[in-house]
Structure 1
Amino acid sequence: MNTKTAPILVTGATGYIASWVIKQLLEKGHTVHTTVRDLNKKKSFAHLEKIAAQSSGSLQLFQANLLEANSFDTAMQGCEIVIHMASPFLVTNYKDAVKDIIEPAIIGTENVLNSVNRTDSVRRVVVTSSIASTYGDAIDIQHTAHNQFDESHWNTTSSETHQPYPYSKVMAERKAWEMQKAQNRWSLVCVNPALVLGPSLTAMTKSGSVEVLEQFANGMTLAGVPPMWNGIVDVRDVADAHLEAAFNPNAEGRYIISGGTLSLLEMGQILRRHFGPKFPFPRNQLPKAAFKLFGPLAGFSKSFVELNMGYPIYFNADKSKKELGIHYRNIEASLVEHFQQLLDDGVVKKYIP
């Protein structure tokens, strides 16, 4: 593969992780083709143009829509590597799970990979999946060997009506593998990150982790948090993993990318230690029984409470360490850095005594 001169396509330019991937590629001198939904929304990709101007690589922006067939053909011309990162991100606030989350994820993957099938130059495809594609509910940990999820696990418990966001992730990844197996020109590597924390390259980022931290800061969790745990990883480690997945000839299959596990209460305690008692960070973990009673008022269904609270979850990231050479950053430091950035960007209001 003539990877230094052939352009590399990254879909979903304005995403939290995608911005870091593009930054690394540009700084390594690559030509990056990247897609946005609307070329008129210059503000959303101004940070990328600035990075490009200061690096030895070059950036070309293309307009493309996940739900339009052939939409990615032009951007993909001449590319040997395609990193497909564009995906709908709506865990809450959706009207119709199938239309808003599931179809865009699956059809989007299908449209991008149909373009790959039409583009003879492509040799390697990297798809951003999620650890949500390895398990559906926290209770699934009880059926694992060694009390941890690894790359052999698949989410079999989510559906259109129960946990539609994880369902969209696992169905999109399964679609990618199905399409890869139907041909033999291009190889596929899937990157499955845990909850991503760490600095964003733009204040406009939307991500699940921002939502969690905003709730910590606005007092919503002051009375206490549910007994829930998250695998956590620094955004820069996730970007490193994508580059390794793209360029390392030995990379194959799926890779769980996780720097460790923290409970919501531990996250609150870490932030309190660092930022002091001024913010309404959670101080207590409320018992599962309380959420069974009041959960529906806070938007937690009874089945969600039953299946997801009270089960610490752990992820085995050894494959990524061995095969991709990832050395994970300290997740407590990533959490602190992320919250500090939300303060600096004004996303979270500074405490005024």
Structure 2
Amino acid sequence: MTNLATQAPVLVTGASGYIASWVIQKLLTQGYTVHATVRDLNKTQSFAHLSKIAESSTGTLKLFKANLLEPNSFKEAMQGCEIVFHMASPFVVTNYKNAVKDIIEPAVLGTENVLNTVNETESVKRVIVTSSIASTYGDAVDILKTDHNTFDESHWNTSSSETHQPYPYSKVMAERKAWEMADAQNRWQLVCINPALVFGRSLTPNTQSGSIEVLQQFTNGLTLAGVPPMWNGVVDVQDVAEAHLQAAFNPKATGRYIVSGDTLSLLEIGQLLKAHFGWKFPFPRNELPKAAFKVIGPFIGFSREFVELNMGYPIYFDASKSQKELGLQYRDVKESLIEHFQQLLDDGVIKQYIP
């Protein structure tokens, strides 16, 4: 696909999100007209940072109200757009009442609603869906089923369900719905970005992300005795944003893209933070054995099934496709980690620990 009109507007759903904000910043600084959707236009604080970026850029920002669960909610915002970045998705990992109603249905039905509107909007030529690395695997033990001890774009999460790891399940089901709808037509092309755990500076303090929850767990004293033997793929937020733009405007982009700069264990994350911030926080001193969490896990939110399937298995990801086809050159995510923690400290999201 080489005939994208750069003067055409582009749509970004979930505009106030952590990654979406960086995508919009890059689009605006490159002169694009961005149609950005938010759930409530009256909550100006949630998108004030985008308006400020637009004021100092050559691009144009147009805000629209849209709701993932309302059919045709994105119709007005999508008019005239050739590129759609579908980035809106519920972020509910804990503290939910009903996994299906609170997590899975919003993700899948939201994707379906947006893509139904894409099917009805003749101008759209390419759709970029923000999926997740959780769409490629469900439990860390799944790494034992891979040929090279590495997850790549050929792998799918087949071990999550409505009752076991419902958030990863919502990501894989939403992505499968997107591919199902893309394969049922031939006018527009779908590209999916599957980022690892995202760190790095946020453009606004009013964001939610899995990385914030990870960093907060090192500040409340619960990990001082030790962390579980668990690993995460990690990546800088600006690399994820750049992957989205390359997926949109690079004519060679196709299929899925794992976007991951490194793998770090929870202990390695804690040690990196301790080396920089010293003993101002109760960073973990060591890694507790899996056997310990089989005993204490149920008392601190880890089911025995989760402990058995996710602790003690280092996981790795092959991001070479993103490097070769999207031209990504990954930032040092260790620096991103420190920068992100410092920003959360400056913004008051994380407070110095007082025992």
Q: TM-score range by the shorter chain?
A: over 0.9
- Relative to structure 1, the CA distance from residue 352 to residue 92 in structure 2 (aligned partners, 3 Å threshold; closer, same or farther) is closer
How many residue pairs end up in the alignment?
A: 353
- Which residue of the partner structure matches residue 184 of structure 1? 186
Kindly provide the amino acid, as one letter, of the partner of residue 229 in structure 1: W
Instruction: Please list the CA deviations of residues 296-340 of structure 1 after superposition, one character each: whole Å capped at 9, or x if unmatched.
Output: 000100000000000000000000000000000001101101101
Secondary structure in structure 2 of the residue aligned to 1:169: helix
Give 1:79 deviation, angstroms.
0.1
Give 1:168 deviation, angstroms.
0.3
- Which residue of the partner structure matches residue 25 of structure 2? 23
Q: Output the TM-score relative to the length of structure 2.
A: 0.98
Kindly provide the amino acid, as one letter, of the partner of residue 77 in structure 2: A
Tell me if 1:37 matches 2:34.
no
Distance 1:278 1:169 in 2: 36
Distance 1:279 1:340 in 2: 12
Q: Output the TM-score relative to the length of structure 1.
A: 0.99
Distance 2:206 2:250 in 1: 31
Tell me if 1:251 matches 2:253.
yes
Kindly provide the amino acid, as one letter, of the partner of residue 224 in structure 2: L
Select which of 74, 77, 88 maps to 1:75: 77
Distance 1:222 1:27 in 2: 43
- Which residue of the partner structure matches residue 206 of structure 1? 208
Select which of 224, 241, 244 maps to 2:243: 241
Distance 2:225 2:204 in 1: 31
The aligned runs of 1:220-299 (5 Å cut-off) are: 220-299=222-301
Select which of 322, 325, 329 maps to 1:323: 325
Distance 1:199 1:94 in 2: 27
Structure 2's unaligned 5+ residue stretches are none
Kindly provide the amino acid, as one letter, of the partner of residue 10 in structure 2: I
Moved more, 301-310 or 269-278: 269-278
- Which residue of the partner structure matches residue 136 of structure 2? 134
- Which residue of the partner structure matches residue 120 of structure 2? 118
Secondary structure in structure 1 of the residue aligned to 2:217: helix
Kindly provide the amino acid, as one letter, of the partner of residue 128 in structure 1: T
Distance 2:63 2:55 in 1: 14
Distance 2:354 2:162 in 1: 43
Instruction: Please list the CA deviations of residues 125-150 of structure 1 after superposition, one character each: whole Å capped at 9, or x if unmatched.
Output: 00000000000000000000111000
- Which residue of the partner structure matches residue 342 of structure 2? 340
Distance 1:57 1:231 in 2: 33
- Which residue of the partner structure matches residue 90 of structure 1? 92
- Which residue of the partner structure matches residue 55 of structure 2? 53
Kindly indicate whether the alpha-carbon contact (under 8 Å) linking 2:219 and 2:353 is maintained by their aligned counterparts in 1.
no
Kindly provide the amino acid, as one letter, of the partner of residue 93 in structure 2: V
Distance 1:259 1:94 in 2: 31
Kindly provide the amino acid, as one letter, of the partner of residue 74 in structure 2: F
- Which residue of the partner structure matches residue 6 of structure 1? 8
| Over 4 Å off, 4+ runs | none
Kindly provide the amino acid, as one letter, of the partner of residue 253 in structure 2: A
Structure 1's unaligned 5+ residue stretches are none
Give 1:218 deviation, angstroms.
1.7
Instruction: Please list the CA deviations of residues 240-299 of structure 1 after superposition, one character each: whole Å capped at 9, or x if unmatched.
Output: 000000000100000000001000000000000011122111111111011100100001
Distance 1:101 1:79 in 2: 28
- Two-structure CA RMSD over aligned residues (Å): 1.0
Distance 1:350 1:278 in 2: 6
- Relative to structure 1, the CA distance from residue 108 to residue 24 in structure 2 (aligned partners, 3 Å threshold; closer, same or farther) is same
Give 1:223 deviation, angstroms.
1.1
- Aligned-pair identity in percent equals 76
Instruction: Please list the CA deviations of residues 210-259 of structure 1 after superposition, one character each: whole Å capped at 9, or x if unmatched.
Output: 01101101212111100000000000000000000000010000000000
Kindly indicate whether the alpha-carbon contact (under 8 Å) linking 2:282 and 2:353 is maintained by their aligned counterparts in 1.
no
Instruction: Please list the CA deviations of residues 5-33 of structure 1 after superposition, one character each: whole Å capped at 9, or x if unmatched.
Output: 10000000110000000000000000000
